[in-house]
Amino acid sequence: MQPTVLDHAESRPLRFGVNYTPSQGWFHSWLDFDPDAVRRDFDDIAGLGVDHVRIFALWPLVQPHRGLIRAAALADVRAVVEIAAEFELAVNVDALQGHLSSFDFVPAWLQSWHRRELFTDPDVVQALADYLEALAVSVADQRNLLGITLGNEVNQFAATRHPDRQQVTPDAVQAWLHQLIAATRQGISDSAAVVTHACDDAAWYDDRSPFRPEHVAGYGDLSVVHSWVFNGAAQTFGGLGDGSVRHAEYLLQLAAAWHVDDDRPLWLQEVGAPVNVVAARDVVSFIEQTIRNAAGVRGLWGITWWCSHDVSRELRDFPELEYDLGLFTTDRRPKRAARAFARMIGEVAQAGDPAASGAPAADEDPAALVLDDTDPTYRSSCSPGGAFHRAWLAEAAERGRGPAIVLRSRVGARTQHPERDLAHATDTQLRGM
Amino acid sequence: MQPTVLDHAESRPLRFGVNYTPSQGWFHSWLDFDPDAVRRDFDDIAGLGVDHVRIFALWPLVQPHRGLIRAAALADVRAVVEIAAEFELAVNVDALQGHLSSFDFVPAWLQSWHRRELFTDPDVVQALADYLEALAVSVADQRNLLGITLGNEVNQFAATRHPDRQQVTPDAVQAWLHQLIAATRQGISDSAAVVTHACDDAAWYDDRSPFRPEHVAGYGDLSVVHSWVFNGAAQTFGGLGDGSVRHAEYLLQLAAAWHVDDDRPLWLQEVGAPVNVVAARDVVSFIEQTIRNAAGVRGLWGITWWCSHDVSRELRDFPELEYDLGLFTTDRRPKRAARAFARMIGEVAQAGDPAASGAPAADEDPAALVLDDTDPTYRSSCSPGGAFHRAWLAEAAERGRGPAIVLRSRVGARTQHPERDLAHATDTQLRGM
């Protein structure tokens, strides 16, 4: 077995990448696959100084029928990985898209008359496993394969607010993750690639979400965090408020709180500057502060910016903010955000390993906050503007660094932390614990 | 302007064709478009002695985004039309698929978070019009273009029983048909091709269907009929019962009843032998009787069998009957049905124009039945096993030919028919009117 991709991190303090949104035709470009167009886009991306890209298959194009996994579609994914290698970019491949920038791509065999449960129907889950394994097999021998993520925020399909909600319990989520991760590992065989899954922040903030923090922190090789400040953070605290520019840092600390293994790595797999809530003039500062703050979190493996290229306005119906998240325009000119992001990559590299430079583990952080995860509404409390979030921000403001987080359910297990009565903790009580 | 495609009918009594279901990959084969595979399939089809095929674009592949109509997808459709010309096959192109053999293919821009009304949202209908016009433009100059159908049984999306029903009133159906047919005509320009739309039999049998008989009979260049005896006809009357083998004939007579122009042509655009209700040993007889009976209907332009090739059982989740409707197997061997169909084409050609051989117009048919279309439940009465259907079958049994049908709402307007009191017509009363 090769050394895992994670070991590469030894040669640099933090990995940087971008989520690849094709400049021409967005993800519909899979239908008109053009290796040279990918090559041009990857040339843009490599110029930023990043070391990896995250790419997104369109599930209905790869598996348009239960029983049909298209070899040509897998070959196209493999070709993108090969092109990335030309630019010395590692590649993470996401499979179950699924959800992308407000659009749901679900194959016909799961829709309408054939509507079935995505998370619990055994035939469906087996078909997903088949897809993941086949996708993994198709790229497993690529030396620049970083990893495979089950899919982009697949948990959104189980959200209460989803217009066609898929039913699933937390226990069934575990079974689903277990089966699909196992199938993917089977596919990558002895490759160095990692296997992950990705949730939006409902896992942390929505009391009703069947995808829970322990799923993020317990399944896959890294804990994956997607940080979007349009979720109320920027609306509440302002685009450059601490609640926004520390939002990624905060989510990373939250994820770390659920780690059983202190050495489990964290991946800030999506973070971006949405101009509906971050003023255009503030984007550069948002990028700088967000990256500086997140980079200080112990265990952070890498930051993958959303996204590489803007979406063409010829493609209708995106939420307004989605058109403008790119580091490059649709005609491939770098935006100010691109230069800021590239500068930050250099700054972080020069500063050396931020973890080595002093970010304390939870056990050693005197400012660590205790989160009462035994309260069934703890996720509301964690959500932007909630009591726990505000307590964490107050501590961060005082110390200039967001505090580590300790779960109440585990306090007794950690000898460094005397057990205290946290059942009725208020903002004030929580501060400094 | 060229003579219309319909004029070709002068050279032979009745047109025969098949609905083209690709032998490899079903309609997913658009994703792996292989002209030689199409060529092989069309070679099979041409060997039957048919003169046309009906082909089906996959709408989400041609228009994957509102604002994006893929030139490559249109080129593929055009290529199929060109390949058909190699075999002297005319081609009808259906656009909004939409619904195919139980699967609904709907683009992501109309699903889930982006769910919008297919029939009434002005932006959506304009996008459909753009698609239809672009598709029409892409094939308009092909001399073997038979026509364009808006889509396969798009009315299914408005059915009460549809799991994700689209709302539409009968008036809105008219507006939708008007706009889309106009856009398609604009696209075909001065081509000889026809423009049609196609409904399943809910238009005739379901009192709640917003797509009504007058829409079938009043929009597009021909009245299009799809005849499927799995709708209760075969279950009620047996696979070889009159209710089954006269089902296509009956629907054609129903459609003709709504014609304002007696010369308006009828197209039996779909008819097939579903082996869930027609025993395998009866398929040949079903084909023979169905075609003989339908061929006698005055004004019939053509019969297009469903379908060319079986569906591979590797493709899961089809209703059982759908796997076995082909005239050819998936490895392109002709089935007994293929030989029967080819024989019938020869038989009908030898018999000459069945309309000329004596099928009377409604005005001249002494056995014409009056349908009380002023009764809001007349469609239930028309449905398989309903009172009107049984009356029509009784008359057919007596005379050896299904009678023409006259609408009560129009009886006064037809001088040949003395007005009678039909308000409380029973089976018996209806017979012989």
Nearest to B31 among A26, A61, A163 (CB): A61
A81: which residues sit within 8 A by CB, 6+ positions away? A55, A91, A93, A139, A142, A144, A145
Q: Do A70 and B32 touch (CB under 8 A)?
A: yes
Nearest to B70 among A32, A60, A105 (CB): A32
CA atoms of B287 and B301, how far apart (whole Å) = 18
Indicate whether B10 pLDDT > 80: no
As a whole number, the mean pLDDT across chain B is 92
pLDDT on residue A54: 99
Residues of A in contact with B60 (CB under 8 A): 60
**A154 and B CB contact within 8 Å:** no
Least confident of A214-223, B273-282, B346-355: B346-355
pLDDT on residue A366: 85
CA atoms of A328 and A309, how far apart (whole Å) = 5
pLDDT on residue B353: 61
Residue B307 distance to chain A (closest CA, Å): 20
Nearest to B105 among A32, A103, A108 (CB): A108
Q: Do B108 and A105 touch (CB under 8 A)?
A: yes
With a CB-CB cutoff of 8 Å, which residues 171-230 of chain A face chain B? Answer: none
**A122 and B CB contact within 8 Å:** no
Nearest residue of B to residue A114, measured between CA atoms: B103
Encode burial over A353-381: b for 16+ CB neighbours within 10 A, e otherwise: ebbeeebebbeebebbbbbbbebeebbbb
**B11 and A CB contact within 8 Å:** no
Residues of B in contact with A103 (CB under 8 A): 108-109, 111-114
The two counts, helices (H) then strands (E), for chain B are: 16, 12
Nearest residue of B to residue A63, measured between CA atoms: B28
Indicate whether B361 pLDDT > 80: no
Nearest to B108 among A65, A103, A163 (CB): A103
Q: Do B109 and A67 touch (CB under 8 A)?
A: no
Q: Do A31 and B65 touch (CB under 8 A)?
A: no
Residues of B in contact with A70 (CB under 8 A): 28, 31-32
Nearest residue of B to residue A72, measured between CA atoms: B32
Indicate whether B414 pLDDT > 90: no
Residue range B307-325: average pLDDT? 98
Task: Establish whether this prediction's ipTM goes over 0.90.
Answer: yes
Q: Do B162 and A64 touch (CB under 8 A)?
A: no
Residues of A in contact with B322 (CB under 8 A): none
**A105 and B CB contact within 8 Å:** yes
pLDDT on residue B412: 65
Kindly indicate the confidence band of residue B416, based on its pLDDT and cuts at 50, 70 and 90.
very low
**A164 and B CB contact within 8 Å:** yes
pLDDT 10s digits, B175-219: 999 999 999 999 999 999 999 999 999 999 999 999 999 999 999
Residue A86 distance to chain B (closest CA, Å): 27
CB atoms closer than 10 angstroms to residue A87: 18
Residue range B39-65: average pLDDT? 98
Q: Looking at the DSSP assignment, which residues form a beta bridge with residue A338?
A: none
Q: Do B164 and A112 touch (CB under 8 A)?
A: yes
Residue A354 distance to chain B (closest CA, Å): 40
B23: which residues sit within 8 A by CB, 6+ positions away? B37, B40, B41, B44, B308, B309, B310, B328, B330, B331, B332
Q: In what order do the strands lie in the sheet with B194-196?
A: B194-196, B145-149, B90-94, B52-56, B15-19, B300-306, B266-271, B223-227
CA atoms of A132 and A218, how far apart (whole Å) = 19
CB atoms closer than 10 angstroms to residue A316: 14
Q: In terms of pTM, does the model score above 0.90?
A: yes
Residues of A in contact with B27 (CB under 8 A): none
Do the Cβ atoms of B370 and B406 come closer than 8 Å? yes
**B59 and A CB contact within 8 Å:** no
Percentage of chain B lying above the pLDDT 90 cut: 87
Do the Cβ atoms of A262 and A361 come closer than 8 Å? yes
Residues of B in contact with A318 (CB under 8 A): none
Percentage of chain B lying above the pLDDT 70 cut: 91
Residues of B in contact with A114 (CB under 8 A): 102-104, 317
Indicate whether B268 pLDDT > 70: yes
Of B220, B206, B194, give the one whose Cα is nearest residue B170: B206
Residue B68 distance to chain A (closest CA, Å): 6
Residue A99 distance to chain B (closest CA, Å): 10
Least confident of A390-399, B92-101, B361-370: B361-370
Nearest to A104 among B31, B73, B111 (CB): B111
Nearest residue of B to residue A107, measured between CA atoms: B105
Q: Do A163 and B64 touch (CB under 8 A)?
A: no
Kindly indicate the confidence band of residue B354, based on its pLDDT and cuts at 50, 70 and 90.
low
pLDDT on residue B356: 53
Residue B17 distance to chain A (closest CA, Å): 28
Kindly indicate the confidence band of residue B12, based on its pLDDT and cuts at 50, 70 and 90.
low
Indicate whether B298 pLDDT > 60: yes
Nearest to B64 among A31, A114, A123 (CB): A31
Residue B94 distance to chain A (closest CA, Å): 18
DSSP, collapsed to helix, strand or coil, labels residue B115 as: coil
Bond prior to A98 in cis (omega within 30° of 0): yes
Q: Do B108 and A112 touch (CB under 8 A)?
A: no
pLDDT on residue A12: 52
Q: Do B103 and A115 touch (CB under 8 A)?
A: no
Nearest residue of A to residue B105, measured between CA atoms: A108
Residue B38 distance to chain A (closest CA, Å): 18
- Per residue, the 3-state secondary structure of chain A, as one string, reads CCCCHHHHHHHCCCEEEEECCCCCCHHHHHHHCCHHHHHHHHHHHHCCCCCEEEEECCHHHHCCECCECCHHHHHHHHHHHHHHHHCCCEEEEECCCCEECCEECCCHHHCHHHCCCCCCCHHHHHHHHHHHHHHHHHHCCCCCEEEEECCCCHHHHHCCCCCCCCCCCHHHHHHHHHHHHHHHHHHHCCCCCEEECCCCCHHHHCCCCCCCHHHHHHCCCCEEEEECHHHCHHHHHCCCCHHHHCHHHHHHHHHHHCCCCCCCCEEEEEECCCCCCCCHHHHHHHHHHHHHHHHCCCCEEEEEEECCECCCCCCCCCCHHHHHCCCECCCCCECHHHHHHHHHHHHHHHHCCCCCCCCCCHHHCCCCEEECCCCCCHHHHHCCCCHHHHHHHHHHHHHCCCCCEEEHHHHCCCCCCCCCCCCCCCHHHHCCC
Joined tokens for residue A41: 């886009």
Nearest to B67 among A66, A111, A316 (CB): A316
Q: Do B70 and A105 touch (CB under 8 A)?
A: no
Task: List the Cα angle B60/B32/B333 in 5-degree steps.
Answer: 110
Residues of A in contact with B112 (CB under 8 A): 103-104, 106, 162-164
**Regarding predicted confidence, which is higher, B262 or A183?**
A183
| A317 conformational bin, left if phi > 0, alpha if psi -120 to 50, beta if neither | left
Residue A103 distance to chain B (closest CA, Å): 6
pLDDT 10s digits, B220-250: 999 999 999 999 999 999 999 999 999 999 9
Residue B124 distance to chain A (closest CA, Å): 11
**Regarding predicted confidence, which is higher, A61 or B8?**
A61
Nearest to A104 among B66, B68, B112 (CB): B112
Residues of B in contact with A115 (CB under 8 A): 163
- Taking CA atoms, B315 is separated from A373, B23, B60, B96, in Å, by 46, 12, 19, 22
pLDDT on residue A322: 98
Q: Which DSSP letter does residue B373 get?
A: T
Question: What is the interface size between A and B, counted as CB pairs within 8 Å?
Answer: 106
pLDDT on residue A38: 98
pLDDT 10s digits, B110-163: 999 999 999 999 999 999 999 999 999 999 999 999 999 999 999 999 999 999
Residue B205 distance to chain A (closest CA, Å): 21
Nearest residue of B to residue A68, measured between CA atoms: B315
Kindly indicate the confidence band of residue B364, based on its pLDDT and cuts at 50, 70 and 90.
confident
Encode burial over B362-397: b for 16+ CB neighbours within 10 A, e otherwise: beebebbbbbbbebeebbbbbbbebbbbbbbbbbbe
Residues of chain A with pLDDT under 70: 1-12, 353-359, 412-433
